[in-house]
Amino acid sequence: MSQVAVSLASRLGEFVGAGRVLTDPASLAAYEVDGRRPSAALLPGSVAEIAEILRFASAERLAVVPVGGKTHLHIGMPPHRYDLALDVSGMNRVLAYEPHDLTLGVEPGITYAELDRSLREKGQFLPLSPPFAERATLGGIVAAAADTPLRYAHGTTRDFLLGVEFVTGEGIISKSGGRVVKNVTGYDLHKLLIGSLGTLAVMTRLNFRTFPLPPSQKMFVAAFTEQSDAFAFCRAIMKSPLQPRIVDVLNPGAARLFVIEAAGHEAVLERHARDLAAMSQDAHAAEFIALDANQRDHLFGCLCEFSRIAFGVTSAATIFRVATVPSAMPALLAEMHTLAERHAFDCAILIRALGVVYLALLPPHDPKMYPQLLNCSRELTTLCTTSGAAPMIELCPLEIKNALSIWPPVGSEHEIAQRLKRVFDPQGILSPGRFRGGI
């Protein structure tokens, strides 16, 4: 270790204790982000320690990347600079929980699986269901705006995140929102932190609304050979009085598998089973089945782990997440398929809650294929933006990320985003370059 590194580690140890500053190469390898490694990793145990660290980093112009379970570090562009990893996984307490009020306050380092087990003991849950649930932390889930199969019924994180306490890039401790559902004063500044990838602030407390567990649930699958029939079924569900909690479409090849889950009392499940069977028949489904509990759990896991499964097929998997409106989806999907076929790439598609498309390009893991993969990715981004959709590349080989921005082209909102960055992080030390437009 150089004398400069020794001096830095000594200074950082003043804030968190020498035993919670990691500088050895083996430990720092776990904090690598797109080929970049920090000079040190810090494990703070309190909000005050985080504030001290960020004040020091701001004064010394040291770039800081907040880290939790490390399950979403692949999202975003490579950081322009990366001096310190701020590991908040040790801050993993439940700070407040009022089951009768359906409210919850937690530190950012608690994992979803640990929290889910605690909530289920009280007959409640938080509708996030992220991939890598045993490792994914609540702070990382919010910072990455991670999606969930339960989106159709419960919305996204912004719909049940009540408030956040955070530390700005200058080390100022602040908060937005509240701890209860009936909180109507002030601006929802905390919504800006959702999906910000740690570029605006370090979250230190998250307040959520929780939900009662349904008494029972039932998952159904309808198979279609024609895309038009699958979307006819989709429109029938949207126009019906049914209120399913999951509406996803898997398109691994020629078949379109429509996944629907109902939740509630037995009468509700029976009504869904009866009406969905009739609607699927009217839409010319090749098959309609109800899954047993084991089958349901397996398929639900696949819906949660779509990206991980695609990456398991090939490490060159390139996964797009595209937000669009249901009316534009049929034409966009047809053009996506045509583009993938023109480049001779296998692909898999997941349509979530009839509003978000996940497209996984599955080329062979061969560096010689990267130029073609780059061209295909660039064409897909152009196709989506010209169609009025909002694309981003959630996962891809580093070679692609170094040659092509994973974000869509910036628009008129970029100036506002830059101004917000200057307010929250004047010195630009928090995850510099990872967000859209180089923020």
Considering the chain, what percentage of its residues have pLDDT values greater than 90? 81
> Which residues, including other chains, have CB under 8 Å from residue 403's CB and lie 6 or more apart?
374
Q: What is the pLDDT of residue 254?
A: 56
Q: What is the pLDDT of residue 354?
A: 83
Q: What is the pLDDT of residue 252?
A: 60
29-83: pLDDT as tens digits: 999 999 999 999 999 999 999 999 999 999 999 999 999 999 999 999 999 999 9
What is the strand order of the sheet 64-67 is part of?
A: 21-22, 40-42, 84-87, 64-67
pLDDT at residue 296 tops 90:
yes
**217-224 and 211-212 beta bridge pairing:** unpaired
**How would residue 179 be classed by pLDDT, with cut points 50, 70 and 90?**
confident
Say if CB 193 and CB 164 are below 8 A apart. yes
Q: What average pLDDT does this structure show over 225-254?
A: 88
Q: Which of 62, 165, 112, 101 is nearest to 431 (CA)?
A: 62
Q: What is the pLDDT of residue 363?
A: 92
Backbone angles phi, psi at 373, to 5 degrees: -65, -40
pLDDT at residue 274 tops 90:
yes
> In whole angstroms, what is the distance from residue 146 CA to residue 429 CA?
24
> In whole angstroms, what is the distance from residue 249 CA to residue 353 CA?
8
Q: What is the pLDDT of residue 251?
A: 83
The more confidently predicted of residues 326 and 96 is 96
> In whole angstroms, what is the distance from residue 133 CA to residue 110 CA?
11
The single residue listed with the structure tokens 């819906």 is 303
Q: What average pLDDT does this structure show over 326-348?
A: 91
The more confidently predicted of residues 3 and 28 is 28
Q: Which of 142, 134, 47 is nearest to 95 (CA)?
A: 47
Give the range with max mean pLDDT: 4-18, 242-256, 420-434.
Answer: 420-434
**How would residue 9 be classed by pLDDT, with cut points 50, 70 and 90?**
confident
Q: What is the pLDDT of residue 5?
A: 62
**How would residue 258 be classed by pLDDT, with cut points 50, 70 and 90?**
very high
**246-251 and 287-290 beta bridge pairing:** unpaired
283-292: pLDDT as tens digits: 999 999 999 9
101-157: pLDDT as tens digits: 999 999 999 999 999 999 999 999 999 989 899 999 999 999 999 989 999 999 999
Q: What is the pLDDT of residue 188?
A: 85
Q: What is the pLDDT of residue 185?
A: 64
